[in-house]
Structure 1
């Protein structure tokens, strides 16, 4: 039993899950009905549903960010891509004679996603072809992207009145928020493509040693193009959800600092920024920790401006628990437990 517990502690998911359970406990103490889920008009409502719905954009971006980080890269432009995606969609809807038409919304969403693919290819080109450091390459679009969104919206907040578009952010399908369903689909597709095929192993090989993987015949350049394009695609989906939820395109605030939340979710989930092995399951837990932390701040009455401080504290705690020093200490503890277990068996 002690050996099983030691292996459990050594898991990268152990401390993030513990942190999530602690946050749940704090919310339950502050609000006894925290776990209650009710059905109104055939739709699910409750604090847990709110966490899933509000955390969906972060999870979607974090999935793409996980694959980028696994290649030893980073994408700081996802927040700007969110703003561009929302601005493009709202501009097309407002320019249509019938904003409530489903076909109009479909065209707006398709164009926004197509532009995000172009932006992702641009990031991939800078990193894979020109060899620019990922943090610098994506910083270019992070800076210019907000300006592009401002040009699209002409510096205004574009408010749209389109029920089909609004449904992406606040609608329900079979009682479940559509945003949650979209996030689940993105997560499932990424998991299937990377864990049920050789794609995940190839991505990890590029992150561990790009030169060795190239000599082994892995097309590292194509993989880099793929992960940066997919990350931008995920950011565009998240941007559409955020914009639809607000029913307005705000070039200044849509997706603001969302790249930081996505990176925090990936790090909390145990994926190393040095590249290589990654965990989509860990990213899921990390995104839930981030959103639950935000909910906790509001539940216990802490001023919202202190949210970033608490995020930093949680990330620092999880990273310290997952640090090499802590892992070595846990490994020594596991060896001692195994030794004691062996002595107990010998004595019996």
Structure 2
């Protein structure tokens, strides 16, 4: 095979790879920042830690990555969870409440930390269990079922906190969101652990195949012997669990739990990240790596908007436009119209 032929094959393979466009978008965002700000891409090793804008983007994107991984599984089985922001607020509030109570009871050492983590993750998983109950057992539409907790969840968190912002004065808990391990933020190791564990589970077992089968045709999957209802329920539980992990990172990072504002509009960012990563909103096709890249794109976009001095409100407009573009590109009817117009333009050019 000639060098030109090999190059064309590599190019076609690259363009067809599902991660090509998300990675290209992320690369262009980072490159654009680097051109306008020469020091943007610089990394420094100082006091045993790695510092730089790239590290900051990855660190700030960690909560969104965790939530996006859970959202990926839910969307892959034809579901949706718009309560993840409220679940994050509940987990953060439960963690702060537990630390305060255990310290008041005289607990010392790492006991308050372990108690807070266990309580927060148990509460978040229970939220996912509730969403799964409404969707799987009662047959409610996913957007309606999770809307219940989206509305009520912040009320539950505010009841736990008596409507106050709970501050956390506990150094071991602060390590989760602000600590460093081997020179990198500890939150990155949490993300890596969840991502690798989930990827191995989906690719080294039949679970990934079952998830795709449920997304493509849940009735046919059930007839074929796939435990579609149990897997769908588990996806909602994991989505709640991942939102709980994100709540621990967020509350640890700011040393407080704000039941009213923590995780606001997180569901929009998570759905957008999953869509940007190539997961089909209709279910069946999903990409964990794509969701991770999608979350990094959103955080890089947010950083870019702030860096060039644009008002923060513009960030919401840009995200809304991105949602519109992604939905249009995933619409078969819209893609068919684009192909038809391209063919017409080609015939016109040939004439």
Same fold (TM over 0.5): yes
For the 8 Å contact 1:30–1:299, the answer to whether it is kept is no
1:78 aligns to 2:64 (yes or no): no
| Cα-Cα RMSD | 2.0
Quote how far apart the aligned CAs of 1:250 are: 0.2
Q: Which string of whole-angstrom CA distances, capped at 9 and with x for unpartnered residues, describes residues 85-143 of structure 1?
A: 01011011112235873211111111111111211111111111111111111111111
Question: Is residue 103 from structure 1 mapped to residue 111 from structure 2 by the alignment?
Answer: yes
CA contact (8 A) 2:180 2:186 kept: yes
Cα distance in 1, alignment partners of residues 108 and 277 from structure 2 = 40
Match of 2:3 in 1: none
Structure 1 unaligned spans of 5+: 337-348
The equivalent residue for 1:277 is 285
Q: Is the 8 A contact 1:61 1:238 kept in 2?
A: yes
Q: What is the deviation of 1:255?
A: 0.8
2:26 is aligned, of 2, 5, 20, to 20
Query: What residue in structure 2 maps to residue 57 of structure 1?
Result: 63
- Provide the secondary structure at the position in 2 that maps to 1:72: coil
SS of the equivalent of 2:39 reads: coil
Note the alpha carbon deviations across 1:58-110, whole angstroms, 9 max, x for none: 00000000000000000011111100001011011112235873211111111
Distance 1:174 1:145 in 2: 37
Question: Which residue of structure 2 lines up, in the alignment, with residue 145 of structure 1?
Answer: 153
The alignment status of 1:35 with 2:41, answered yes or no, reads yes
Alignment of 1:303-322 (within 5 A): 303-317=311-325
* Deviation string, structure 1 residues 282-320 (Cα, Å, up to 9, x no partner): 111111101100111112221112111222334445555
Check if 1:47 corresponds to 2:41: no
Unaligned runs of at least 5 residues, structure 2? 1-6, 347-351
TM-superposed deviation, 1:188:
0.9
Q: How far does residue 222 in structure 1 lie from its aligned partner after superposition?
A: 0.7
More off after superposition, 222-231 vs 307-316: 307-316
Q: Which residue of 2 aligns with 1:244?
A: 252
Report the counterpart of residue 190 of structure 2 in structure 1: 182
Whether the 8 Å contact between 2:83 and 2:150 is mirrored in structure 1 is: yes
Distance 2:39 2:69 in 1: 31
